Each structure stands twice: as C-alpha cells, then as structure tokens.
Structure 1
Amino acid sequence: MKILITGASGLLGRSVFKQLSGNPIFSVTGTAFSRAGDNLIHLDLSDREVVKACLQTEQPDIVIHCAAERWPDRCADNPDSAWQLNVSSTEFLANHCSAIGAQLVYISTDYVFDGTAPPYAVDDSPNPVNFYGRSKLAGEKAVLKNSNHWVLRLPWLFGPVAYLGESGITALLETLREQKSITLDHWAIRFPTSVEEVAEILEQCLLKIINGTNFEGVYHWSGDTACTRYELAQLIANTCGLIAAHISANTEPDFAVPRPYNCQLDKCRLTELGIVGHEPLQHQLARNLKPFIT
C-alpha cells in the first residue's frame, strides 16, 4: 500500500510518518512545506498544479492529511490563511485524490462540537464555537462530499516535540520549571492524546483496509484521561518530580478565543472494530518529557 502524508514535519505527521515507515507493508512518502528535507518532499498545498503533479507522480493509495493550522488563536488572528489551509487546500486535495482513485484520511478535531453535551458520537451534530472549529468542520464537509474518503477527529495532542512549546501540553513543563506565579484554566475539560498512539491507531486502520474493511464517514479517537489544564500541570509535576505550588486554578472560562467546555469523543466506532491503544497517559507524558528534564 502506497501512502502519502501531508504535514509530515508537524507534531502529528512526524509520528505517523515514523510509525508507518517502520512497517514494510507500506511504502510511505512524507511531504512538508517550511520544514522539507530529511526524507520529506516539499509541497505547497496552496499551489494546485504542484499538488496535482505530486499526486500524479506518487500515485498513492491513501493520503493522510495531517497538515493544518491547528492553533485556535492563530486561526482567529489569520482567518484567511487558516481557511486556505484547512478548507480550500483540503477541498482541492480531496477532489484530486478522488480523480486518481486515492482515499483521503482527513485529520479533524473535537472542536467541531460546542462542548455542552458530551460524550459526542460520530453522528452528533457539530456546532463549533470558534473559527478554528468552523474551518475544520468546513474541511470535513469538503472531504466527505467524496464518498471514498473519511475523517478522523482528535482532541488535544502531544508527543515527541522539537521544543516544548510545540504542544500546549508539553509547554506546561516550562510553566512548572519557571516557578513564577500563574493561573491556569480549571474550567474546560480536555482529553490529552498521544500522537504516537494516534499513529498506531492509523496503522491498525490501514491494516484493516488492506484486509477488506471499508472505512467511510467519521471516526473518533481520544485519550481516556479527562483533565483541565490546571489538573494536567499537577499530573506533569507529579510525573517529573517538580513543585506546582506556584500554580493556581481559574474555575471560570477566560479565553481570548472561545473554547468549548467538554468535547469528549466517543470512540466506540473504532474500538468495536478491535482498534485499541495500550499505554496510560502518565507513561506517555514521562517518555515524551524525559528529554527535557535536567
């Protein structure tokens, strides 16, 4: 099976590229924009002729579309560029995948929901509360107009990072080490999810496709631990042997860009297929933060 991964230099894309490249069943090509090189080919998703030429050359069976603007505040500050990447480029990519007979897997977000009625099943009605969620929902709709493609919604991601600020989760280690008084959100419920686990989940899905399982529509995956940002900082402090006395909790929503309260994703559509994760959150955090602990 030939696989093309967009955004293969990003937080999620790196782990997906590494996981799938380690399986000899797959022939994997990774693309990147600003961080091409290191076995990744340069691809500007806004250049339609370049995208078309790439797909014609690579002739993938599956395209895993990890490239996205995933920071809600940046989406709100730069809506045109966010819409271009999350929607317009996605729509063209999906349409051209259909034209060459490739299946597109679109990585989406729990932020398509408003967070008022969790847990959310795959067929619950989305109602995003910010521009980021609206852009990802529009991307989903553009993808699903092509019946051969499917969507995987994910929540708050973390994993192996080049620098701690690459994920809002690993960035909490810096907050803990600075020992400056700070207030963290203790209102919004989140489900930290490892990109390494997501990569394993995608590999399991692809192996099922090879064996004849049909994937279409929307799927969910999520970590199982519910926590606020404040509670996660406490967990990281405990995991890394740090003091968290300088951190206080804010129990009221206080965001420059609105966030949903609790977007817990019901992942039973995948678990009923036998798709499973294996590692507890604390073990995942310890492994990924260890390189930054001195």
Structure 2
Amino acid sequence: MRILITGASGLLGRSVFKQLSSNPVFSVTGTAFSRAGENLIRLDLSDCEAVKTCLQQVNPDIVIHCAAERWPDRCADSPDTAWQLNVRSTEFLAKYCNENDTQLVYISTDYVFDGSTPPYKADDNPNPVNFYGRSKLAGEEAVLNNGNHWVLRLPWLFGPVAYLEESGITALLDTLREQKPVTLDHWAIRFPTSVEEVAEVLEQCLLRIRSGINFEGIYQWSGDTACTRYELAHIIAKACNLNAEHLSAESEPNFTVPRPYNCQLDKSKLTDMGISGSEPLEQQLLRNLKPFIAD
C-alpha cells in the first residue's frame, strides 16, 4: 500500500511517517514545505500544479493530510493564510485524490465543537467558537463533499518534539523549571493525546483498509485523561519530580481567542473495531520529556 503524508515534518506528521515507514507493508512518502529534507519531498500545498505532479509521481493509495495551521492564535492573526492551508488547499487535494482513485484522510480537531455538551460523538452537530475551529470544520466539509474520504478528529497533541514549545503540553516543562510565579488555566478541560499513539491508531486503520474494511465519514481519537492546563502541569511535575508550588490556578476563562470548555471526543467508533492505544499518559509524557531533563 502506497502512503503519502503531507506535513511529515510537523509534530504529528513525523510520528506518522516514522510509524508507517517501520511497517514493510507500506511504501511511505512524506512531504513538507519549510522543513523539507531528510527524505521528505518539498511541496507547497497552495501550488496546485506542484500537488498534481507530486501525486502523479507517487501515485498513492492513501494520502494522510497532516499539514495544517493548528495554533488558534496564529489562525486569528493570519486568517487568510490559515484558510488557504486548512480549507482551500485541502479542497483541491480532496478533489484531485478523488479523480485519481486515492483516498484522503483528513486530520481535524475537537475544536469543531463548542465544548458545552460533552462527550461528542462523530455525528454530533459541530459549533466551533473560534476561527481555527471554523477553518477545520470547513476543511472537513471540503473533504467529505469531494470523494470517498474520511476524517480523523484529534484533541490536544504532544509527542517527540524538536524543542519544548513545539507543543503547548511539553512547553509546560519550562514553566515548571523556571520556578517563577505563573497562573495557568484551570477552566478548560482537555484530553492530552500522544502523536505516537495516533500514529499507531492510523496504522491499525490502514491495516484494516488493506484487509478490505471500508473507512468513510468521521472518526475520532483521544487520550483518556481529562485535565486542565493547571492540572496537567501538576501531572508533569509529578512524573518529572519537579516542584509545582509556584503555579496558581485561573478558574475563569481568560483567552485572547475564545476556547471551548470541554470537547471530549467519543472514540467508540474506533475502539468498537478493536483499535486501541498502548500507554498511560504519565508514561508517554515522561518518555517525551526525558531528552530535555538533565540527569
């Protein structure tokens, strides 16, 4: 099975590329833009002709579309740029994949929901509260309206990072180590999710497709631990043996860009198929933070 991964230099894309490349039943090609290299093809997803050429050369059975503008504040600051990547480029990619009998897997977000009535099933009505969520919802619609494609919604991600600030979750290690008084959000409920686990889930999905099982519509995956940012900092502190007494809790929403309260995703559509994760949150966190902790 030939797999093409967009955004293969990003937080999620790197783990998906690594996981699938380790399985000999897959022939995996990755693309990137600003961080191309290391066996990744440089591809500007806004260049339709370049996208056509890449797909013609690779001729994939499946495209996993990890490339996205995923930071809500950056989406709000540069809406045109975010819409181009999250929606327009996605729509063209979906149409062209459909014309060439290639299935597209679109990575989306829990932020398509407003967070008022969790947990959310895949067929619940979305109602995003910020521009990022609206752009990802529009991307979902572009994908599902342009072929036999499917969507995988994910929540707050972390994993192996090149630098701690690459994920808002791993960035909490510096917050803990600096020992300066700081107030962290203790209002929004989040479900930290490992990109390595997501990569394993995608591999399990692709193996089922390879065996003849049809995937279509919307699927969801999430970690199982509910926590606020303040609570997560305490989880990291305990896992890494760090002091958290300098942290204070902000119990009211205080965001520049609105955030939903609790977008817990119901992942039963996948777990009912026997798809599963492998590690507890604390173990995942410690493994990914260990390279940044001095012995």
Report the RMSD for the aligned CA atoms in angstroms: 0.4
Q: Deviations over 1:90-132 (max 9, x none)?
A: 0000000001110000000000000000000000000000000
Q: Offset of 1:275 from its aligned partner?
A: 0.5
Listed one character per residue, the Cα deviations across residues 127-164 of structure 1 (whole Å, up to 9, x for unaligned) are: 00000000000000000003410000000000000000
CA–CA distance in structure 1, aligned partners of residues 230 and 3 of structure 2 = 39
Residue 48 of structure 2 corresponds to 48
Distance in 1 (CA, whole Å) between partners of 2:109 and 2:103 is: 19
Please list, as runs of the form range in 1=range in 2, the aligned pairs for 1:95-174 lying within 5 A after superposition: 95-174=95-174
Instruction: Determine what percentage of the aligned residue pairs are the same residue.
Output: 79
Q: Which residue pairs with 2:264 in the alignment? A: 264
Pair 1:199-2:199 in alignment: yes
- Once the two structures are TM-superposed, the CA of residue 247 in structure 1 deviates from its matched residue by 0.5
* Residue-by-residue CA offset, 1:174-210 (whole Å, 9 max, x unaligned): 1001111000000000000000000000000000001
d(CA) in 1 for partners of 2:235, 2:194: 15
Counterpart secondary structure, 1:82 = helix
Find out whether 1:289 has 2:289 as its counterpart: yes
TM-score, structure 1 length as denominator? 1.00
Structure 2 CA distance for aligned equivalents of residues 68 and 178 of structure 1: 31
Unaligned runs of 5+ in 2: none
**TM-score normalized with structure 2 length:** 0.99
Query: Which digits, 9 at most, give the CA deviation of each residue in 1:35-89, with x for residues without a partner?
Result: 0000101000000000011001110000000000000000000000000000000
CA distance in 2, matches of 1:278, 1:50: 38
2:31 match: secondary structure:
strand
Kept after mapping to 2: 8 A contact 1:121/1:265: yes
Structure 2 counterpart of 1:116, one-letter code: S
Question: One-letter code of the match for 2:27?
Answer: S
| Structure-1 residue corresponding to 2:6 | 6
The answer to whether the aligner puts 1:230 opposite 2:233 as a matched pair is no
Aligned to 1:180: 180
How far off its partner does 1:278 sit? 1.2
| Alignment coverage as a number of residue pairs | 294
The match for 1:67 is: 67
Deviations 1:9-54 (A, max 9, x none): 0000000000000000000000000000001010000000000110
Partner of 1:20: 20
Any runs of at least 4 consecutive aligned residues in structure 1 with deviations exceeding 4 A, and if so which? none
Quick check: 1:275 aligned with 2:279?
Answer: no
Instruction: Tell me whether 1:29 sits opposite 2:29 in the alignment.
Output: yes
CA deviation map 1:215-256 (0-9, x unaligned): 000000000000000000000000001000110000000000
Structure 1: runs of 5+ lacking an equivalent = none
> Contact 1:147 / 1:216 at 8 angstroms: preserved in 2?
no
Residue 189, structure 1, aligned to residue 184, structure 2: no
